[in-house]
Structure 1
Amino acid sequence: MDVRSPLASLGLCVALLAASGCSPSDEHKQATLEEKTAQFEQSLDTIQDPRLKEAVGELGGSLLLLERARIKLDTKPVETEYGENALAVLAHYPTPQALVDTYINGLFVLRKNSHSDYLTDLQPVFPFSFNMPDQFPFPHGLEWQSVTLSNNKVIPFQPEWSETDPGIQLSPSSSNLTNPDDLTVTYPFIEGIETDNKSQPQPVMLKGQVEVIAPSKVLAFDLTRQDVGQKRTQENITLTLLALENNYAEIELSNTSPLAPQVADESPNPLLVQARDTTGQFLSRSGSINESASQVAFYEQQLAQMRKQNTWSEAFEKQLEDAQKAFEQKQASHYAKVYFNGVIDTLQVNVLDFSDATVTHKDLELPVRRFDKNSLEKTVQGLPMPVTVYDDQAADWLKSATLSEDQLKSSITISQSVEDASAAHITFDHPFTFNDDLVGSTRTSSDAPLTFFTADDEGNRGEPIELPTEAFEVDPWRGAITYDLNLFPETPAYAVGSIPLFLATIEKNTLDTTHLPKGLLLKDNALIVDQALFPSDSWRFFAKDASGNYLKEILGVSHRAEEYGTALFDVHYFYGQPTVLETYQRTALNTLQYGFEVKLDKPETK
């Protein structure tokens, strides 16, 4: 019996939980948890039977992890952080199955550029990019099986690289924490012999299997505080908003129809929850708890029964399994407590109805493609794509094409640190926008006057401090001031000056792809841009198809005359067939002066 299975899908985004300050009551809860953990570990040491010890350790550890996550989520400060509309993709496809087909058929494999003679990295590229906790919304699995080399040799996939295997290996990439599906082809290292990677047989085909379970339908609910305690019903789905507080919502879902037989063992999460604040922007999630109080009580009861045993037996294992099945059969609802980074105004809940479902299984044979960011090839390589994928963030991204001086200045945040007296610093920061992207590298201003002042008896700005030039440094391009307090004759209390900001003037035009000007050529789903007429330093291109939606760009390649040399033309590849191009040109670059008076933090006295 795998006793971890009841809690395996807790839905805890522990990696996303930021460390936070604790109130006295929070500290008491934390101290109590630490005591409970220590007592549990001590009691675990007294269990002699190995199987019983393992079972108690796994279930007890899961319950402690759940409690630890609950405390962290409950005590995390409510700080606003925005995210993307992770569910927008659902609106572009007529059925859940159409989304699944796009996900599978849009998958291809890139060979990543490498300077190693012994490693070749392969990157599976999916048409949808989802960040934790917003992964592809339907249950899915991907298994790699082998890679075929240019000499027709087939290298089987192995779950980890072996130091003792003398042959060529295919295993997960060492960077799999951020790219969990990336793979590495490792060639044997022979001490004292230089091996040229190019002389090795190269990967040409990656084989694997993918399986995705699509719900029969997706139902949408829009909720506010007025819905707390109310039952909302659509077809066979009933949703109850149990609570809606500042930064979390508690939801209970019931489905009058049973799970489809093909997904009964999966127990997929049917709830996709998003929140907006009063600005209408989506708040990022900080974590979730998917176990109700009754479920936790049941697991605690099972743990108590385990701890009464002296040995593990098949009869006891069956008793636990029967009790778990009986409990799960009684569960007529699904519970979720979802936390967000910010104050919630409205909720958007999408319910995946798995009472009927379609399982799609496909054997993958994917050619390994190579598209270097900078290419010396004179011809354009095709990247045919049988699917259409939209870029739902493009419209918001492009809003800053008309960014005003006041908007830019109001977005500035000032932070400072005096922890290191020799490198105290003040930083002027603002969210990176499309306007910043088009500012480019042609910034010219270095004018950043700065004066430090003492404080008078009332704490107000006092006299200016005479300083040697090496006492401080201003980096106007990074918006940073660094100063050495050891070179100050007096402790500074205020910094007064100005720092340059850069604002592009951007001209937008719309072009029909059937009548493109010289220097722009559309070849299937690839836009070819002559760099002599439309240099990438000052031009950007966005494509729409006949639906009026922005197409997602797959990748871009800059073709050059020589390595690090002059760019000849750029190629932009899209998921879909562009019918309209939007061009954005930086026609001017304006330098603004941001005046400031910063009251400086005082260094701690030792």
Structure 2
Amino acid sequence: MMDVRSPLASIGLCAALLLAGGCSPSDEQKQTTLEEKTAKFEQSLDSIQDPKLRDAVADLGGSLLLLERARVKLATKPIETEYGDDTLALLKHYPTPQALVDTYINGLFVLRKTSHSDYLTDLQPVFPFNFNVPDQFPFPHGLEWQSVTLSNNKVIPFQPEWSETDPGIQLSPSSSNLTNPDDLTVTYPFIEGIETENKSQPQPVSLKGTVEVVAPGKVLTFDLSKKDVGHKRTEGNITLNLVLLEKNYAEIELTNSQPLASEVGDESPNPLLVQARDSTGQFLTRSGSINESNAQVTFYEKQLAEMQKQKARSEAFEKQLTDEQKAFERKQSSHYAKVYFNGVIDNLQVNVLDFSTATRTRKDLDLPVLRFDKNSLQKTVQALPMPVTVYDDSAANWLKDASMTEDQLKNSVTISQSVEDASAAHIVFDHPFTFNDDLVGSERNSSESPVTFFTADEKGERGEPIELPTEAFELNPARGTLTYDLNLFPENPAFVVGSIPLFLATIDKNEIDASKLPKGLELKDNALIVDQKAFPADSWRFYAKDASGNYLKEILGVSHRAEEYGTAMFDVHYFYGQPTTLESYQRTDLSTVQYGFEVKLDKPESK
């Protein structure tokens, strides 16, 4: 089959993420042209008789259309500011790219997840860094699982998908888990009518596999702003050109005068990691990117036109296309990126991964399967030795809300409403979940909050109050919702006035030297043990720093209890690294803040 997809393979995912919304009226013309193009392309496919040729044309043509749709979508998306973390901070914590790779590989361990099934056991590989699209681990990497060893010494080979006809125990990827795509499932045979307890099955003991990562020889950092547009910056073999810097996007071209190292193989890793800050100094989240230059798009459009002229698939034509493609890609000495952000850009931080020299690290894995339940009935603390140090770069930003004020809390509230269901029309008073909310806990007592619905007068302004039975509406402060039943209203309300309680914790912060811990706190290597009588979890939080002064990332936490639903005796927090200082946060008081509101109500749709 003709495979001309690889250079455009990244388009599908990037573009698919961008197509959820609509586009602005000013761009309807472009949209129409695109729809006409798509319809025309689909018609042309129908005329291709050879199924393999049709598939190849559909793949390449479909990718090009997706790319064009992504361009329109990104260009017309309204600019709404959204802040995120410094996704490249971890590169700054390690002296070399190789040190980052070693941490990534050596910090991997495997957890057995709690299972309520008699014939399924999930295994979760846990990496020290967790990345979300598009901020995946920045270096080319691969992980292949080979087998699981069971408690009866039986070795079960890994298979890429679960088989319905295989009567034995199987190891395959978890089909249902999108949040942890690396998760695996050990599936025991399910025999109709025979109850088999999971406990009686041979249990997974260790997991074998291989992991491979390619580290660039060096990582360069460029700080750029509007004044750098058009001025090329060169460091050694790397030349960076900021082609354009507009309100919410940047166009960048990178040239590496050296070829890619042989260690990179057939991969063509993305060498550009681009971040933007706005005038507040905070990092903006990305809304998408286009990594194909006009020259690349023109080349693939030309190839598509050649393919569409063919009557049938032929080996010779396929080879001609592949050779053309390789020759074209070889000539591409520069790498192009047009990156869009959610917000107005003040300056850019560009990290360039230079793969002209590279190191390929391959490690065979034989990892014990560990079990750490969120709630444990064990009396002893289970060790979780960790040979690597990983920092939590989002902690400082999260903890700043320990000193939140009433005004900050009130100003963060957003109001939305729905009248789709007349019997359960509702208003939602929402605010971002903060560290303060986390320490508010579940003790949220509040007195009755007054709520009055009003009609509208002739001018459409607030009119008379409406007398209502108590069951006509309900205010739920814990959820921040006001629900009302329009069927119980003598006339349609136009306004609602009242107040809803918000909750604000008073939080005391203290610093504790790890060598002088008070009674009730104990450190065993990388595990902090917290006596729940002295420091109950509903009103205390602990964060750890090491000698560098950076916050350590917490691996996981376990609450040890006397009995299944009994009170906690002690909590254990495990860290990637050795704590030298602890920060304690204690809720000393809880106050209720009345948030007064006047909401103009949406009119229900007349049936």
3-state DSSP of counterpart to 1:9: helix
Moved more, 190-199 or 217-226: 217-226
Matches within 5 A, 1:47-446: 47-446=48-447
State the one-letter code of the partner of 1:553.
E
Q: Does the residue aligned with 1:329 lie in a helix, a strand or coil?
A: helix
Query: After the TM superposition, which of the residue ranges 82-91 and 455-464 deviates more from structure 2?
Result: 455-464
- Matched residue, 1:31: 32
Does the residue aligned with 1:356 lie in a helix, a strand or coil? strand
Per the normalisation by structure 1, the TM-score is: 0.98
| Counterpart Cα distance in 2 of 1:160 and 1:467 | 59
Contact 2:554 2:576 in 1 (8 A): yes
> Structure 2: any 5+ residue segments left out of the alignment?
none
1:24 to partner: Cα distance: 3.4
SS at match of 1:51: helix
- Matches of residues 450-469 of structure 1 in structure 2 within 5 Å? 450-469=451-470
CA contact (8 A) 1:16 1:286 kept: no
Contact 2:544/2:551 (8 A) holds in 1: yes
CA change 1:562–1:15 in 2 (3 A) is farther
| In 2, Cα distance between equivalents of 1:463 and 1:599 | 14
Counterpart CA distance in 1 for 2:504 and 2:383 is: 36
Q: CA deviation at 1:281?
A: 1.6
Q: Whole-Å Cα distance in 2 between the matches of residues 481 and 416 of structure 1?
A: 9
Cα distance in 2, alignment partners of residues 539 and 25 from structure 1: 53
- Output the TM-score relative to the length of structure 2: 0.98
Measured against aligned partners, the alpha-carbon deviations of 1:45-87 in whole angstroms (never above 9, x if no partner) come to 2222233222212111211121122222222222222221110
Q: Distance in 2 between matches of 1:313 and 1:251?
A: 39
Give, in whole Å, the separation in 1 of the partners of 2:118 and 2:52.
46
- Superposition deviation, residue 17 in structure 1: 2.5
Alignment-mate amino acid for residue 21 of structure 2: S
Cα-to-partner distance string for 1:137-176 (whole Å, 9 max, x where unaligned): 1111111111110011111111111111111111111233
**Mapped partners of 1:19, 1:212: distance in 2:** 33
Q: State the Cα distance separating 1:97 from its structure 2 match.
A: 0.2
Secondary structure at 1:134 match in 2: coil
- 1:257 alignment partner, SS class: coil
Match of 2:500 in 1: 499
How far the C-alpha of 1:283 sits from its partner, in A, is 1.4
Q: CA deviation at 1:12?
A: 4.5
1:20–1:75: 8 Å Cα contact kept in structure 2? no
Do the aligned partners of 1:452 and 1:492 also contact (CA within 8 Å) in 2? yes
- Partner SS, residue 284 of structure 2: coil
- Write the distance in 1 (CA, Å) between the matches of 2:242 and 2:487: 58
Report the 3-state secondary structure (helix = DSSP H, G, I; strand = E; otherwise coil) of the residue aligned with 1:318.
helix
Find the residue that maps to 1:116 and give its secondary structure.
coil
Counterparts of 1:25 and 1:504, CA distance in 2: 47
Distance 1:164 1:410 in 2: 59
Aligned-partner Cα distance in 1 for 2:303–2:447: 68
**1:246 to partner: Cα distance:** 2.2
* Change in 2 beyond 3 A, CA 1:499/1:25: closer
Aligned partners of 1:494 and 1:25: how far apart in 2?
34
Return the alpha-carbon distance in structure 2 between the equivalents of residues 208 and 163 of structure 1: 24
Q: Secondary structure at the match of 2:306?
A: helix
Higher deviation after alignment, 429-438 or 309-318: 309-318
Deviations 1:567-594 (A, max 9, x none): 0000000000000011111011111111
Q: Distance in 1 between matches of 2:292 and 2:28?
A: 24
Q: Distance in 1 between matches of 2:219 and 2:482?
A: 52
Match of 2:478 in 1: 477
Paired position in structure 1 for 2:576: 575
Per the alignment, residue 488 of structure 1 pairs with 489
How far off its partner does 1:564 sit? 1.3
How much has 1:458 moved relative to structure 2?
1.6
> Against the structure 1 CA distance between its residues 229 and 476, is the aligned structure 2 distance closer, same or farther, given a 3 Å change threshold?
same
2:15, 2:573 → 1: CA distance?
A: 37
What is the deviation of 1:427?
Answer: 1.2
How many positions carry a matched residue from both structures?
Answer: 606
Cα distance in 1, alignment partners of residues 131 and 3 from structure 2: 29
Contact 1:20 1:77 in 2 (8 A): no
Contact map agreement 1:438 1:586 (CA 8 A) in 2:
yes
Which residue identity is paired with 2:555?
I
- CA distance in structure 2 between the partners assigned to 1:292 and 1:391 by the alignment: 36
How much has 1:202 moved relative to structure 2?
Answer: 0.3
Secondary structure of 1:325's aligned partner: helix
| CA distance in 2: counterparts of 1:118 and 1:74, whole angstroms | 50
Instruction: Check the 8 A contact 2:19/2:70 in 1, yes or no.
Output: no
**Deviations 1:296-336, CA, capped at 9 Å, x for gaps:** 00001011111111222222122112211221122121001
Decide which moves more: 97-106 or 334-343.
334-343
Question: Aligned in 2, Cα 1:221/1:504: closer, same or farther, shift over 3 Å?
Answer: same
CA gap 1:160/1:336 in 2 versus in 1, 3 angstroms: same
In the TM superposition, residue 44 of structure 1 has moved relative to its aligned partner by 1.5
Amino acid at match of 2:202: P
Take 2:131 and 2:122, find their aligned partners in 1: how far apart are those partners? Answer: 21
1: distance between equivalents of 2:29 and 2:605?
28
Q: Deviations over 1:275-310 (max 9, x none)?
A: 112222211112111101110000010111111112
Query: Percent identical across equivalent pairs?
Result: 82
Q: What amino acid is aligned across from residue 37 of structure 2 in structure 1?
A: K
* Structure 1: runs of 5+ lacking an equivalent: none
- How many angstroms does 1:465 deviate by? 0.6
2:10 aligned counterpart, secondary structure: coil
Letter of the structure 2 residue corresponding to residue 152 of structure 1: N
Alpha-carbon offset, residue 39 of structure 1: 2.0
User: In structure 2, what is the Cα distance between the partners aligned to 1:403 and 1:288?
Assistant: 35
Distance 1:469 1:28 in 2: 53
Task: State the Cα distance separating 1:412 from its structure 2 match.
Answer: 1.2
